[in-house]
Amino acid sequence: MDTLTRFELRKIMRRKSFYAGIAILIAMILLMISTLVTGAWITGKDGKELKGIATFPLRKEYNRQLAGPLTVEKAADAVNRHYKLWHDPKNLNEKGEITEEAYAKYEVKDEQIDSLIRFAFSPIGEYNYYVINKLKPSDAQAFYEKRLEKVRGYLNMNYSYGNYSAEDMAFFIKMNENIPVPFQMNYVTGWENVFENLQYVFFFTAFVIALCLAPVFSGEYLSGADSIILSSRYGRNRVIVAKLKASFIVSLGLLVFALTTYTLLMLGICGFDGGNASVQMIEFMAPVSYTVFQTYLWAVFIGGLACLLVGALTLWLSSRMRSPFPVIIAIVIFLIGPMLLKESKSSRLFNHMMHLLPSNMIDSFNRVTSYEVYHIFGQLIPEYKVMAGFAIIVIALLLPLTYRAFNKHQVV
């Protein structure tokens, strides 16, 4: 690393805003993890409700028993077990419902597979808890067909903002057909919890990046150091590159810090298992053929690019504004504003445009597993890939503009 970049790094990292940003990130990560952990529950072996950290080993124990390929035979066995349970009078109470003891002894162990079966066999747009009660083991043979049927139904529904075209439908059906079956099952609660709050981790990281980068150029204008920088030999070229490099390093560092802390803490508490499971274990309708870990990597990639885009935008604003304060205000409005806007009920195009804003892009897990496709130059490209390309292009456009703004700055 060159000397100027090291100094620029030092300037960013010695500011109070940097330490405040780290503190904000740690506090929010701890808050998000503690909310999820304390909110977790499962029916314990004694039939009593178990809450908090204690739920994870038990759920892991049950889900591991079902780990492996989700074959139709495995689904049929689950339907069979469920059928027997519900047809044995000693498991039922006077209202005809399953007793707590029976639930704790048998049903809770199949919660994961049962919920997938319920999802597959429920009518389109619904989740019918009791649908499994009406199934025979032989029905489970149609598990994957039912899922595809549901996908078709979802694609054929009427949407006020515009229906899927035949081309779109064929695209998503093909994507779904390309997903290897049987799905891989495993205990995925840890990863599920990671995905639950991932967008907020990105949100706060983007905010902290903006907080740290806002003074990179505008701070020089505000303090008057711009006179010295711009009149020095490297003040109109190398130092700008050094500032951009240092900003990128800080942004990347904050991202790695936030994601590593959040992911490792969450998985450390809830369990690391399940990275190799199909993402459909978490999002049953997901049209992508990724494992949970591959989906995590995509989500991190998209969310990370959204944060870097916020960083690039912050730097551009910083190069054009005379104080860091309006830069931070502008970024906060830019981050929060689109979140307050509801999706359009009349225009899918508007929604697509809105999704490209960082505040929507950070909801990366939902974007990777969603049914949105963009038509670009006759090609159909899934939304999450468009997002990645869009972010890279905008960053690539903003950086030279930032360079130019500082290079041409006049000290008035």
Partner 1 sequence: MLELTLNQVSKHFSAKKAVNGISTRLTSGVYGLLGANGAGKTTLMRMICGILNPTSGEIQMNGQEISSMGEHYRDMLGYLPQDFGYYPDFSAEEFLWYVGSLKGLTLPAAKSKARELLRTVALSEVARKKIRTFSGGMKQRLGIAQAMLNDPRVLVLDEPTAGLDPKERVRFRNLIANLARDKIVILSTHIVSDVEYIADQILVMKQGGLLMTGTVEQLTTTMEGCVWSCHIPAREAEEWNARYCVSNLRHEGNQVELRIVSTVKPAHHALLVAPTLEDFYLHHFQDEQVAVTDEEKERA
The residues of the shown chain that bind partner 1, judged by CB under 8 A, are: 3-4, 7, 10-11, 14-15, 219-220, 222-237, 239, 410-412
Classified as helix, coil or strand, 183 is strand
Give least dist CB 409 to partner 1, A.
Answer: 8
Distances (CA, A) of 280 to 65, 179, 185, 289: 18, 10, 9, 9
Residue 288 DSSP class: S
Q: Kindly tell me which of 18 and 161 has the beta carbon lying closer to partner 1.
A: 18
Query: From CA 180, how far away is CA 174, in angstroms rounded?
Result: 12
Q: Kindly tell me which of 107 and 220 has the beta carbon lying closer to partner 1.
A: 220
Classified as helix, coil or strand, 70 is strand
Per the CB < 8 A criterion, the answer to whether 104 and 44 are in contact is yes
Residue 374's beta-bridge partner residues? 381
Give least dist CB 219 to partner 1, A.
Answer: 8
Q: Kindly tell me which of 51 and 238 has the beta carbon lying closer to partner 1.
A: 238
Query: From CA 35, how far away is CA 40, in angstroms rounded?
Result: 9
Give least dist CB 21 to partner 1, A.
Answer: 15
Could you identify the residue written with the tokens 């990179």?
A: 216
Query: Cα dihedral angle (390, 395, 400, 404), rounded to 10 degrees?
Result: 110
Both tokens assigned to 6: 């090291």
Contacts of 49 (CB under 8 A, 6+ apart): 41, 42, 43
Give least dist CB 366 to partner 1, A.
Answer: 41
Q: Kindly tell me which of 117 and 250 has the beta carbon lying closer to partner 1.
A: 250
Per the CB < 8 A criterion, the answer to whether 68 and 184 are in contact is yes
Mark out the alpha helices in 40-161 (DSSP H runs).
55-65, 72-86, 100-105, 111-121, 143-156
Query: From CA 178, how far away is CA 364, in angstroms rounded?
Result: 22
Give least dist CB 249 to partner 1, A.
Answer: 17
CA contacts within 13 A on the Cβ side of 378: 0
Query: From CA 331, how far away is CA 308, in angstroms rounded?
Result: 13
Give least dist CB 234 to partner 1, A.
Answer: 5
Q: Kindly tell me which of 228 and 392 has the beta carbon lying closer to partner 1.
A: 228
Q: Kindly tell me which of 18 and 293 has the beta carbon lying closer to partner 1.
A: 18
Give least dist CB 14 to partner 1, A.
Answer: 4
Per the CB < 8 A criterion, the answer to whether 41 and 51 are in contact is yes
Give least dist CB 6 to partner 1, A.
Answer: 9
Give least dist CB 67 to partner 1, A.
Answer: 53
DSSP 386-404: HHHHHHHHHHHHHHHHHHH
CA-based nearest residue to 18, from 198, 219, 162: 219
Give least dist CB 246 to partner 1, A.
Answer: 12
Q: Kindly tell me which of 250 and 307 has the beta carbon lying closer to partner 1.
A: 250
Per the CB < 8 A criterion, the answer to whether 206 and 360 are in contact is no
Give least dist CB 24 to partner 1, A.
Answer: 20
Q: Kindly tell me which of 340 and 412 has the beta carbon lying closer to partner 1.
A: 412
Q: Kindly tell me which of 137 and 215 has the beta carbon lying closer to partner 1.
A: 215
Q: Kindly tell me which of 219 and 274 has the beta carbon lying closer to partner 1.
A: 219
Q: Kindly tell me which of 4 and 285 has the beta carbon lying closer to partner 1.
A: 4
Query: From CA 118, how far away is CA 133, in angstroms rounded?
Result: 9
Peptide bond into 182 cis (omega under 30): yes
